[in-house]
């Protein structure tokens, strides 16, 4: 088995048929693969939908049930059951390209020094996006388009490859561990960083990732994620999770106030000045500045809570 595809789902039986069908309608060029659908304690017809795909003249489809709620628990169940040397992840609201499995395998074969591969996650809009929702503000939608050039991701270029289009060598999990539950998405939680935290561990272990623009999927963009309120909440929560991770690029040297480096307060003050300054800023730029402050407020709140609780110093 070359590739094990892990698709985790929770109460989205209406979306599943399209996602699974795209995984089975593959031009693989003899790449052997399987599809593992992990039901994360759904209460709808998820099992029935998956089992309707089990039989047929296509790649093996297996149904797994994970009682413990949370994306990391579901992904880890899929990893443990996977038989492939590569474990590829996608989502129930995603449609992979017809050569996706083959492109994932080719990327690893051509780059033996990388341990994870990701590519573009392009939007499928159900209505026209608002003017402020440009690619610069795509992070809360888990959309990715870093251009058409391949590049390595590592400690010098910390670019997160998102789980809707992410593949990992099986042996890498043995080295750095599985996905961390404390950073996972549960129900409608936002701003979570399980993908970034896992890749940070890879990088710290001296391993690298690869952004390959030929590895492409498309993702539904739900209407509720196209609101300013959602993006504000996402950035605040993302700031909180980043504070929990204690990443080196945010742990600025020098004095601190309530556990927060003063340099970050200066960064926030500059954002305020930029936001208030008159100038030819469009709605996307103005909102982007506001979101920086939302991020900082979440980061600061978490760090103040950590300092009161006696959390160890940053690594």
Residues 6+ apart with CB under 8 A from 306: 243, 244, 259
Q: Extract the tokens encoding 276.
A: 């208030």
Instruction: Check: CB of residue 238 under 8 Å from CB of residue 191.
Output: yes
Q: What is the pLDDT of residue 269?
A: 81
Residue entry with tokens 């994620």: 225
- Look up tokens 């610069």; give the residue: 136
Task: Record the tokens describing residue 214, joined without a space.
Answer: 């030929």
| 290 pLDDT more than 50 | yes
Crossing angle of helices 194-204/71-81, nearest 10°? 50
The band of 147, judged by pLDDT with boundaries at 50, 70 and 90, is very high
Q: Are 165 and 217 in contact (CB under 8 A)?
A: yes
- Cβ contacts of residue 97 below 8 Å, gap of 6+? 103, 215, 216, 217, 218
Distance (Å, whole) CA 266 – CA 70: 36
Using DSSP's 3-state secondary structure scheme, residue 118 falls into: strand
Encoding tokens for residue 143? 């959309």
What are the start-end ranges of the H helices in 111-256? 170-176, 194-204, 228-245
pLDDT at 152: 97
| Per-residue pLDDT tens over the stretch 105-115 | 999 999 999 99
This prediction has a pTM of 0.87
The per-residue pLDDT for 268 is: 77
* pLDDT, average across residues 88-109: 97
Q: What is the pLDDT of residue 287?
A: 86
Give me the mean pLDDT over the 39-51 stretch: 96
Residue 280, Cβ density class (10 Å: 0-12 exposed, 13-18 middle, ≥19 buried): exposed
pLDDT greater than 90 at residue 254? no
Give me the mean pLDDT over the 274-286 stretch: 70
Cα–Cα distance between 121 and 91 in angstroms, integer?
A: 11
Give the pLDDT mean for 164-170: 97
Give the rounded percent of residues in the chain with a pLDDT score beyond 70: 91
Contacts made by residues 220-228, CB under 8 angstroms, sequence distance 24+: 220/15, 220/93, 220/94, 220/124, 220/126, 221/123, 221/124, 221/125, 221/126, 221/129, 221/141, 221/143, 222/93, 222/126, 223/126, 223/127, 225/140, 225/141, 226/127, 226/129, 226/130, 226/133, 228/132, 228/287
Which residue has tokens 């995603």? Answer: 94
- Per-residue model confidence as pLDDT tens digits over 19-37: 999 999 999 989 999 999 9
pLDDT for 185 equals 54
How far CA 60 is from CA of 47, 51, 277, in Å, comes to: 16, 11, 58
Please give the mean pLDDT across all residues of the chain.
88
Average pLDDT for 65-72: 93
In this structure, what token pair is assigned to residue 13?
């039986």
Q: Determine the pLDDT at residue 241.
A: 82
Structural tokens at position 82: 């996977």
Tell me how far apart the alpha carbons of residues 300 and 308 are, in angstroms, rounded to a whole number: 12
> Percentage of residues in the chain with pLDDT exceeding 90?
59
Mean pLDDT, residues 86-99 taken together = 97
Q: Check residue 242 and give its pLDDT.
A: 82
- pLDDT for 314 equals 36
Residue 234, pLDDT above cutoff 70: yes
Q: What's the whole-number mean pLDDT along residues 135-150?
A: 91
For domain 3-226, say whether CATH 1.10.3720.10 is its number: no
Is the pLDDT at 88 greater than 90? The verdict is: yes
Inter-residue contact 307 to 257 (CB < 8 Å): no
Per-residue model confidence (pLDDT) at position 188 = 53
pLDDT one-digit tens code per residue, 170-208: 999 999 999 988 776 544 555 467 888 899 999 999 999
Note the helical H segments in the chain: 16-24, 46-51, 71-81, 100-110, 170-176, 194-204, 228-245, 262-276, 283-308
Q: Which of 27-36, 41-50, 107-116, 266-275 has the lowest mean pLDDT?
A: 266-275
């Amino acid at each position: 088995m070359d590739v094990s595809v892990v698709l985790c789902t929770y109460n989205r039986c209406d979306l599943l048929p399209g996602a699974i069908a795209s995984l089975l309608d593959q031009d693989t060029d003899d790449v052997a693969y399987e599809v593992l659908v992990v039901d994360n304690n759904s209460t709808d017809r998820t099992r029935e939908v998956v089992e309707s795909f089990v039989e047929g003249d296509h790649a093996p489809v297996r149904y797994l049930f994970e009682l413990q709620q949370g994306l990391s628990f579901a992904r880890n169940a899929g990893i443990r059951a996977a038989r492939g040397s590569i474990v590829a992840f996608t989502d129930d609201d995603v449609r992979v390209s017809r050569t996706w499995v083959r492109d994932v395998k080719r990327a690893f074969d051509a780059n033996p020094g990388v341990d994870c591969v990701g590519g573009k996650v392009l939007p499928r809009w159900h209505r026209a996006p608002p003017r402020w929702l440009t690619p610069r503000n795509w992070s809360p939608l888990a959309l990715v388009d870093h251009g058409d050039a391949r590049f390595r991701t590592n400690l010098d270029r910390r670019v997160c490859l998102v789980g809707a289009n992410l593949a990992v060598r099986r042996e890498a999990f043995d080295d750095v561990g599985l996905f961390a539950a404390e950073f996972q998405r549960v129900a409608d939680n936002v701003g979570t960083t399980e993908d970034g935290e896992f890749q940070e561990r890879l990088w710290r272990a001296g391993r690298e990732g690869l952004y390959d623009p030929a590895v492409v999927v498309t993702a539904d963009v739900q209407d509720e994620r196209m609101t300013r309120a959602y993006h504000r909440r996402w950035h605040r929560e993302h700031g909180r999770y980043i504070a929990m991770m204690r990443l080196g690029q945010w742990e600025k040297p020098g004095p601190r106030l309530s556990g927060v480096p003063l340099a970050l307060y200066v960064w926030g003050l500059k954002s305020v000045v930029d936001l208030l300054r008159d100038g030819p800023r469009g709605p996307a730029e103005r909102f982007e500045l506001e979101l920086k402050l939302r991020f900082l407020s979440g980061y600061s709140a978490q760090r103040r809570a950590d300092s009161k609780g006696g959390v160890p110093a940053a690594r």
